[in-house]
Structure 1
Amino acid sequence: MTRIAAVQLSPTIANVRANRDMAAAAIAGALADGADVVVLPELTTSGYVFDSVEELRSVALTADDPLFHEWATMAATRPGSVIVAGFAESGADGALYNSAAVVTAAGVLGVYRKVHLWDQEKRFFTAGSDAPLLVETAHGRLGVMICFDLEFPEWTRIAGLAGTEILAVPTNWPHVDRPDGERAPEVQIAMAAARVNRMAIVCSDRAGAERGVAWNEGTSIIDADGWVVDSVGPGDGIAWADIDASLSRDKRLAELSDAFVDRRPDLYSKFTRSPS
Structure 2
Amino acid sequence: MSTVRVVCQQLAPRLGETEHNRNLGARAINDAAMLGAQVVVLPELMQSGYVFKDRQEAFELSEALDGPTLSLWKSLAAELDIIIVGGFCERLDDGQVANSAALVEPEGRLTVYRKAHLWNREKLIFTPGTAPPPVVQTAVGRIAMVICYDLELPEWVRLPALAGAELLCAPVNWPDAPRPASERPGEIVRVQANAAVNRMFIAACDRHGEERGIDWVGGSVIVDADGYPQAGGNAHRHEQRLVADLPLAQARDKYISAHNHVHQDRRPGLYLPSP
Partner of 2:171: 170
The alignment's TM-score, normalised by the length of structure 1, stands at: 0.94
Partner of 1:182: 183
Taking the TM superposition and a 5 Å limit, the aligned residue runs for 1:151-230 are 151-230=152-231
Partner of 2:45: 43
Q: Give the length in aligned residue pairs.
A: 271
Partner of 2:89: 88
Partner of 2:253: 250
Please, which of 33, 46, 55 is the counterpart of residue 57 of structure 2?
55
The answer as to 2:12 corresponding to 1:10 is yes
Compared CA separation, residues 91 and 108, structure 1 to 2 (3 A): farther
Distance 1:137 1:261 in 2: 26
AA partner of residue 132 (structure 2): A
Distance 2:175 2:54 in 1: 19
AA partner of residue 246 (structure 1): A
The answer as to 2:72 corresponding to 1:78 is no
Moved more, 173-182 or 134-143: 173-182
- Which contiguous aligned blocks of 4+ residues in structure 1 show a shift greater than 4 angstroms? none
The answer as to 2:262 corresponding to 1:265 is no
Q: 2:48–2:62: 8 Å Cα contact kept in structure 1?
A: yes
SS in 1 for 2:113: strand
AA partner of residue 24 (structure 2): M
Partner of 1:138: 139
Deviations 1:166-218 (A, max 9, x none): 00000000002222342211110100000000000000001011000010000
Please state how far the C-alpha of 1:96 moved relative to its aligned partner: 0.5
AA partner of residue 57 (structure 2): E
Distance 2:165 2:73 in 1: 23
Structure 2: stretches of 5+ with no match in the other structure: none
SS in 1 for 2:7: strand
Percent pairwise identity: 43
Please, which of 6, 29, 32 is the counterpart of residue 31 of structure 2?
29
The answer as to 2:94 corresponding to 1:120 is no
Please state how far the C-alpha of 1:32 moved relative to its aligned partner: 1.4
The answer as to 2:253 corresponding to 1:234 is no
Deviations 1:36-65 (A, max 9, x none): 100000000100001122211111011122
AA partner of residue 2 (structure 1): V
Deviations 1:6-37 (A, max 9, x none): 11010101111111111111111111111110
Deviations 1:219-262 (A, max 9, x none): 00001000011117220111110011101000000011110111
Please state how far the C-alpha of 1:108 moved relative to its aligned partner: 4.2
Distance 1:157 1:8 in 2: 25
Q: 2:30–2:80: 8 Å Cα contact kept in structure 1?
A: no
Compared CA separation, residues 93 and 106, structure 1 to 2 (3 A): farther
Partner of 1:64: 66
CA-based RMSD of the aligned residues comes to: 1.4
SS in 2 for 1:20: helix
Q: 2:203–2:223: 8 Å Cα contact kept in structure 1?
A: yes
The alignment's TM-score, normalised by the length of structure 2, stands at: 0.95
Q: 2:61–2:89: 8 Å Cα contact kept in structure 1?
A: yes
Q: 1:36–1:78: 8 Å Cα contact kept in structure 2?
A: no
Moved more, 233-242 or 143-152: 233-242
Q: 1:194–1:223: 8 Å Cα contact kept in structure 2?
A: yes
